Amino acid sequence: MKLSFLKRSSLTLHPTAQKLFKLMSEKKTNLCIALDVTEQNQLLEMADELGPELCVLKTHVDILKDFTPDFGDKLKQIAKKHRFFIFEDRKFADIGQTVSLQYHKGIYQIAKWADIVNAHIVPGPGIIEGLKDASLLLLAEMSSAGTVAKGTYTRKAVLLAEKNPKTVMGFICLKKISQKPGFIHFTPGVKLKRGKDSLGQRYRTVEEVLIKNQSDIIIVGRDITTAQKPLKQAALYRERAWEAHVQAIS
């Protein structure tokens, strides 16, 4: 089934998924940028510069060396200005009680500023219960070489998502893994050319991910953030990804 993002917004029970599908459709972007920088101001400046190009901005708040409690509010203001969602790639992986505390409490207070978070399914369904007030992506597959998240494990993630459509809005995966159109597929490990880094990351191309593998959103980090002109590079990825999406559903 080849459906537009707009059509799919009416086929999900998840309010954040509905809004994200609509946003992608209106803003014409299915690009998520991973801003893996270690200084808050650099992150906020890049978010402001690249914001017009993306639908989702992905953070790893625990790599910031100068985090201050106003970070979330500042990022939220930029997200509102440019209309994008904030995805904290926290990869929760503990029992329900602990992940609930990690999501709401501690230094980062993730629940206050992140629209989307993700979780491993290793602990079983309790992790979804513990994060039931979050908008959750399940890690069904990973881009790294030798990942054990495959086969039965991936299928289990899909089953868990389908049982919890009001909490789970989609997946981190390498390809389309659920036939239910309400779930959004996010794929990391994307570059303009296939390849790998020196620490196990594997890259597929934009077209491979969106056309051949039928994913929805590409997550791109260093190839944009370390480019000489990040905005120009982001615009290029945005264009390639949107063209690939249009081709995939036509």
9 vs 187, beta carbon nearer ligand 5BU = 187
Enter the tokens of residue 150.
Answer: 């495959």
Q: CA 70: distance to chain centroid?
A: 23
d(CA 111, CA 218) in angstroms, rounded, equals 24
Restricted to residues 27-56, the positions that interact with ligand 5BU (CB under 6 A) are: 34, 36
What character string, x for contact with ligand 5BU (CB under 6 A) and - otherwise, covers 58-97?
--x----------------------------x--------
Q: How far is the CB of 55 from ligand 5BU (least distance, A)?
A: 15
Q: How far is the CB of 2 from ligand 5BU (least distance, A)?
A: 26
b/e burial code for range 149-167 (CB count within 10 A of at least 16 → b): beeebbeebbebbeebeeb
Active-site residue, 91 included: yes
From 17, 56, 160, 220, residue interacting with ligand 5BU (rule: CB under 6 A): 220
Enter the tokens of residue 222.
Answer: 């260093």
Backbone angles phi, psi at 182, to 5 degrees: -75, -20
d(CA 140, CA 118) in angstroms, rounded, equals 10
Q: Which of 74, 94, 175, 176 is catalytic?
A: 94
- Identity of the residue numbered 72: G
Helix 40-50 vs helix 71-82: angle between axes, to the nearest 10 degrees?
10
87 vs 113, beta carbon nearer ligand 5BU = 87
143 vs 215, beta carbon nearer ligand 5BU = 143
Which residue from 56, 94, 7 is spatially nearest to 238, judged by alpha carbons?
56
Restricted to residues 178-207, the positions that interact with ligand 5BU (CB under 6 A) are: 188-189, 201
From 139, 140, 218, 248, residue interacting with ligand 5BU (rule: CB under 6 A): 139
Residues belonging to the chain: 250
Q: Count interface residues toward ligand 5BU (CB under 6 A).
A: 17
147 vs 214, beta carbon nearer ligand 5BU = 147
Told to check if 172 binds ligand 5BU by CB under 6 A, we report yes
Which residue from 40, 87, 35 is spatially nearest to 68, judged by alpha carbons?
40
Residues that bind ligand 5BU (CB under 6 A): 34, 36, 60, 89, 139, 142-144, 172, 188-189, 201, 219-223
Residues with active-site annotation = 91, 94
